Structure 1
Amino acid sequence: MSTTVENRPEQNQYVLVEDGSTIGLAAYDVVGDEIRFTHTEIEPARRGAGLGAQLVQGALDDVRSETSLRVVPMCPFVVDWVDEHVDYQELLTR
């Protein structure tokens, strides 16, 4: 199975896609020079397999490489993920 993270700016979300089906999302709002991650979810039957972490990492990698936006984690999952991954904390102070 192949999974990818895609940005869908028209829907204000990054999605985790597996073999053509969306199995998770990370919703965001862009406000000024900030991208505020407000909600993250994975299909209930797929939770616990590390897919949320894959989604958040992919989204933050895209923010890092494609924008100069400062990340504001509002979703508890994103807050915890960034806390545990110090190499992504610079995105909070851009």
Structure 2
Amino acid sequence: MADITFTNNAEKHRYEIHSDGQLAGFCEYNVLTDALMFTHTEVLPAFEGQGLGSRLAKHVLDDVRVQGKHVIPVCQFIAGYLRKHPEYQDLVREDIRRAFKI
């Protein structure tokens, strides 16, 4: 089993997931006053099909919760994850949930 680690690369405005020390994917964001707006999530081709995108989504949402911020899920992957995982929907304001059909 691969050693999976997460980092917040603030300089590049993205969370990264690493598998055995290699960059496997990332989730880009913009920092707003009280929210993180997620704009793009990507798993690199060599790492697709291993569930790393979902693990990354869970990690970034857990981190937003710790920060006490809310989420604006412009990224379709993050929006889709939120639709499937109602335990995170409290991180999305009601007006934003309506806008993104969450």
Q: Normalising by structure 1, what TM-score?
A: 0.91
Unaligned runs of 5+ in 2: 95-102
Per-residue CA deviations over 1:26-65 (Å, capped at 9, x if unaligned) read 0000122110000000011221221100011011111111
User: Matched residues in 2 for 1:6 and 1:36: separation?
Assistant: 17
Unaligned runs of 5+ in 1: none
8 Å contact kept, 1:26–1:41 = yes
Alignment of 1:24-35 (within 5 A): 24-35=25-36
Report the number of matched residues. 93
What is the root-mean-square deviation of aligned Cα atoms in Å?
Answer: 1.4
Q: Which has the higher contact order (CA 8 A, sep 6+)?
A: 1
Mark the structure with the bigger radius of gyration.
Answer: 2
User: Matched residues in 1 for 2:6 and 2:80: separation?
Assistant: 19
Partner of 2:16: 15
User: Matched residues in 2 for 1:51 and 1:19: separation?
Assistant: 13
Identical amino acids, percent of aligned pairs: 38
